Each structure stands twice: as C-alpha cells, then as structure tokens.
Amino acid sequence: MARIVMKFGGTSVANVDLIVNASKLIKKEWDNGNDVAVVVSAMGDSTDKLVNLINQVSDSNQNLAEYDSIVSSGEQVSSGLLALQLNKLKIPARSWLGWQLPILTTGKHSMAKIHKVFVDKIIDGFKKREIAIIAGFQGILKNLRISTIGRGGSDTSAVYIASALNADRCDIYTDVEGVFTADPDMSAKVKKLDKIAYEEMIEMSSQGASVLQTTSVVAAMNENVNLNVLSAFDSMPGTQLVHEDDLPERKTVTGVAYSINEAKITLIKVEDRPGVASKIFHCLAEAGINVDMIVQNISEQDKKTDITFTINKEELSNSLTALKELKKELNYEKIVNDPEVGKISVIGFGMIDHVGVAQLMFETLSKKDINIQVISTSEIKISVLVARKQTIPGVRALHDAFGLDNI
C-alpha cells in the first residue's frame, strides 16, 4: 500500500464529464489499497471569470483580502463536485478547504507563501479509507483571512501536502502526457522526456513552460517529493522529476522554452554613478514587479548609461508609472518600452561540460535572420530576447539545431 497525492488541473476538471474521468483515475488508485489525497484546481477558466467579476466592481486599488475570498471559491466548487462524484461510486470522500485543515500561509494576499500544512484530519480519514479532496491554491493567514498563493498555485499546494503526508509520490495530472522538449502545441517534432532534473524543470517553468508552476518544482526539490507529470486522458507513462545524479544521461540541451508575455523597458541616459541601479530596481520591487533580464550599456563620452530590462507584460503600465516618479531623482533622458518581444531559452545540465552551446544558438538564430536584443545566462540556461513575431520560428529552429527531435 502506498500513500499518494493526485493533483488535477483546471483542464482536467473543466466540466462534469472530466470530473467523472478524474474520479475513475482516483478510484483505480483507491481500489489498489492506496491512501489517496487529491488536490484540485478550479474548473476550466472559472478563475478568470471570477477575476472579471471583481474588475467590474472594484477600482485599481483592489481590496486583496476580498479578492482572495472570491477567487478561491472556484476550487471550493470543483473539490465539492469531485467528492460527490466519488460518493456516487460508493467511495468515502470529502472535500477540504485550505482553512479547514488548515494550510497556514504567510506574506501578502494574492501572493502568499505556504508555511505549514496540517494533515492530521487527512490521516484520520485514511484510517477510514476516506479520500481527501483538497481545494488547491489557497490557505489561511494568521489574521484568519483566506489567502491565495498565486495563479497556478494548486501544483504548489499538492507538493506541500505530499511532503506533509510523507507521500510515496505526487502525481500532477494535466492535458499533456508529461514534460516535452518544447511546447507540444508548437511542433509535432517535440519529444516527451521520461525523466528531467528538478533544476532543469525549474528553468523550463520559469522561462515559459506552463506544465508546472516554478514554485512547485522548487518545493518538490527542497522537500524531496517524488513528483510526476501525467496525462489525465491516457494511460501512457509520464515524466518523472529526479535529482541530477539520477538522470540516465546529462544531455547538452534538454529542452527549449519560450515566453511571449514579455515587455522590454529601457531608461535612456541614466547617470552612471553608484546607487542608481539599486534605486531603479528597489522602486520596482516595492511595486511588486519582478524583473528578469538586465543589460547595461555605458558611454565613455558623457558618463551616461542605458539600462534595459524585461518584465511580465502585464506589469508594463505599473512599471512605467513607478519609474516616472524617479525621473527627477535619476535625471534620465527618457523611457522607451517595447511590449512586442519574446524570450527563448535553451536549457540543459550538459551545458556545464560542453562548449559551443551559445555559439550554435546564436548562429542558428542568425541564419533565420532573428536579431538578439538581450542575452542572459545561468549555469544550465541561455536566454535571448527577440521580436515577438520571431519567437516561435526561433524555438523551432533551435529545437532542430540541437537535435531534440532525436531524443
């Protein structure tokens, strides 16, 4: 007998038929004698609909406590429906909300962090062969207000619950068969990976691959959770996340990720003196804006510099507002922004041991007449910023150049 956490995303429980399908997968594990806890996202695009309702009745200074109270209700519906469907199959099951277990969180509303998960009630249910259906994405702050942990946070909920339960594995069910060498919607040439290192998956997720939330992978690595990505719609083996030492081989490049939800900002002719960059990025951090790629160009003639960086495109307006408040203090000439950019990243542990990865990447993009605007690197990743319309052609070219269709 094993202890298993099963997580179903919004596309896997988007309607009653899909909830019935999920119940069959759960029943199979339960019939095998396993202890089963299930974490669910909201149905389909129901969270988006709730956000739209909020936007209709609130101004830009939203009460985030009420925001969390509303958007967390989607998971309450899906968890209740799934419990009822399992009851219909004569399987003991009940739904749990984050505050009922409880799942304690810290930080701010809409971006809280899970601090501790109490699982005594779930374990008591296991003793009665009861399945726990837990609403993901939510917890409770010390002031007893409902909190949410960021869009896509149900993956993270599942991992922390699996860790608290000391589960044998945590299975994330999605609408794809696992983790691929690139977005499977982009090309028929992409290949499913049987295994991928946690570190590689962290880079893939943070650079645009949407199959797993980045924080869930970080948590799984830190908590040593056996994490798997599978399809809710077929019985094919999925992708297992492992530590680097457990990889069958270290491929030079494991995958290509991309994001077209990027915007580029350049501050023109900023004074080149100590503390300027600190003030710029402190201002953005205070506004809750995450900065990604950064490049600085220095002019020897007038001791001025241009600072370019990228952000999530949805934060462009807030970023420009925050930076304009610094104009008098920083004495920059002007701000230039470009929301029509995309980011392409090649990722793989083998980069540590192999030379020429950057050269092949840049040469491949050059042959496709794709201009590189910004470059950033880590030990196992190279990212470039390009024009948005050239992002997908660039991904396809790099996928071919690194032979990922032959993995």
β-strands 255-271, 304-312: how paired?
Answer: antiparallel
Q: What is the pTM for the complete model shown?
A: 0.91
Q: 10 Å Cβ neighbour count for 149?
A: 29
Condensed to tens digits (0 to 9), the pLDDT of residues 289-322 reads 999 999 988 766 667 889 999 999 989 999 999 9
* Enclosing domain of residue 96: 3-175
Instruction: Identify whether residues 291 and 168 lie together within a single domain.
Output: no
Residue 139: which of 129, 130, 149 has the closest Cα? Answer: 149
Tell me the CATH number at 107. Answer: 3.40.1160.10
Q: Which residues pair with 135 in a beta bridge?
A: 40
Residue that wins the pLDDT comparison between 215 and 273: 215
Same domain, 57 and 165: yes
Task: Answer yes or no: do 64 and 168 share one domain.
Answer: yes
Verify that 128 and 272 share a domain, yes or no. Answer: no
Instruction: Please identify which residue in the block is written with the tokens 């090309």.
Output: 187
H or E element in which residue 266 lies? strand 255-271
Category of 5 on φ-ψ map: left (φ > 0), alpha (ψ -120 to 50) or beta: beta
- Does residue 306 belong to any structural domain of this protein? yes
The span from the CA of 330 to the CA of 327, in Å, is 5
**Tokens representing residue 132 in the block:** 């726990």
- Residue among 353, 273, 270, 279 at smallest CA distance from 304: 270
Contact 267, 306 (CB under 8 A): yes
Number of structural domains found in the chain: 2
- Structure-token pair, residue 284: 């953005």
One domain, residues 129 and 18: yes
Residue 346 lies in a domain: no
* C-alpha span between 45 and 9 (Å, rounded): 11
Q: Is residue 393 packed enough to be buried (19+ CB in 10 Å), middle (13-18) or exposed (0-12)?
A: middle
Tell me the pLDDT band of 66, cut-offs 50, 70 and 90.
Answer: very high
- Domain co-membership, 170 together with 273: no
The 10s digit of each residue's pLDDT in 213-243 is 999 999 999 999 999 999 999 988 999 999 9
